[in-house]
Amino acid sequence: AQSVTQLGSHVSVSEGALVLLRCNYSSSVPPYLFWYVQYPNQGLQLLLKYTTGATLVKGINGFEAEFKKSETSFHLTKPSAHMSDAAEYFCAVSLLFGNEKLTFGTGTRLTIIP
Amino acid sequence: EAGVAQSPRYKIIEKRQSVAFWCNPISGHATLYWYQQILGQGPKLLIQFQNNGVVDDSQLPKDRFSAERLKGVDSTLKIQPAKLEDSAVYLCASNEPKLAEETYEQYFGPGTRLTVT
């Protein structure tokens, strides 16, 4: 079975500062990895995903993440935070083969300090 | 392209009452998912359909929850009777089967926020 751990339920950064949201996963088979963003009273929007190939993936709104198999990590970064980045961020994993249901972490609430 | 539609957006009921949620996936998407998102937690899969067949309902509390997707298109999730701990956002998602890895994505609706009092 797969699982996801997100370190830090709340992260605050100043506007213009680096954003780093941590995600570690556990999976017995090669995983697909995802980051989703959720704004208040809205559904989940895909930021980026890793399936196969290049381990550094770029997503929308300037976010990127790097798949590190040796560290079982998929941390999300953005060089310069913007006020509009304030939201809840979820890391998720699904199986490369088999049932593609998403298993989510508990989420990280990102606050941007003006 | 229209997204995943859900209704109602909000629902308040008393415990032991019944409630139903509706989801219309993106046109042509064979797979449909219902997730439960309790406040402060990540979404948890309740049930997964492939066309009108159930693929995974291992985490669905079958004594009170039921779901159907009769014609392989839209779906209904029902809770009867509701408990206080059912207060959550119920998210519907859909996707195409994994034909190409680079295009694989689940698309989520806005969710239905249920409050049980």
Q: What is the pLDDT of residue B99?
A: 62
The secondary structure of A20-43, three-state, reads: EEEEEEECCCCEEEEEEEECCCCC
Looking at per-residue confidence, does B97 or A46 come out higher? A46
The percentage of chain B sitting over the pLDDT mark of 90, rounded to a whole number, equals: 78
Question: For residue B63, what pLDDT band results from cuts at 50, 70 and 90?
Answer: very high
B58 at A interface, C-beta within 8 A: no
With H, G, I as helix, E, B as strand and everything else as coil, classify residue B37: strand
Question: For residue A90, what pLDDT band results from cuts at 50, 70 and 90?
Answer: very high
Question: For residue A23, what pLDDT band results from cuts at 50, 70 and 90?
Answer: very high
Q: Which residue of A has its CA nearest to B104?
A: A51
The percentage of chain A sitting over the pLDDT mark of 70, rounded to a whole number, equals: 96
- What residues in chain A have their Cβ under 8 A from chain B's Cβ atoms? 4, 9, 32, 36, 41-46, 49, 51-52, 90, 92, 99-107
Question: For residue B102, what pLDDT band results from cuts at 50, 70 and 90?
Answer: low
CB contact under 8 A, B44 and A92: no
Mean pLDDT, chain B, whole residue set: 92
Q: Which residue of B has its CA nearest to A44?
A: B108
Please return the burial class of A1, using the count of CB atoms within 10 Å of its CB with bins 0-12, 13-18 and 19+.
exposed
CB A12 within 8 A of CB A111: yes
Q: Which of A32, A42, A99 sits opposite B55 (nearest CB)?
A: A99
Q: What is the pLDDT of residue B19?
A: 98
Q: Tally the C-alpha atoms within 13 A of residue B2's C-alpha that lie toward its C-beta.
A: 9
Q: What is the pLDDT of residue A98?
A: 57
Residue A29 clears pLDDT 80, i.e. is over it: no
Residue A1 clears pLDDT 90, i.e. is over it: no
B33 C-beta neighbours (distance < 10 Å), count:
26
Q: Which residue of B has its CA nearest to A52?
A: B101
Q: What is the pLDDT of residue A38?
A: 94
d(CA B52, CA A42): 27
Measure B61 CA to nearest chain A CA, in Å.
Answer: 17
> Which residues on chain A are in Cβ contact (under 8 Å) with B102?
51
> Which residues on chain A are in Cβ contact (under 8 Å) with B91?
43-44
Q: What is the pLDDT of residue B104?
A: 73
Residue pointed to by tokens 């990540």: B42
Query: Residues with Cβ < 8 Å from A75, sequence gap 6 or more?
Result: A20, A21, A22, A23, A65, A66
Q: Which residue of A has its CA nearest to B5?
A: A43
CB contact under 8 A, A104 and B55: no
With H, G, I as helix, E, B as strand and everything else as coil, classify residue A104: strand
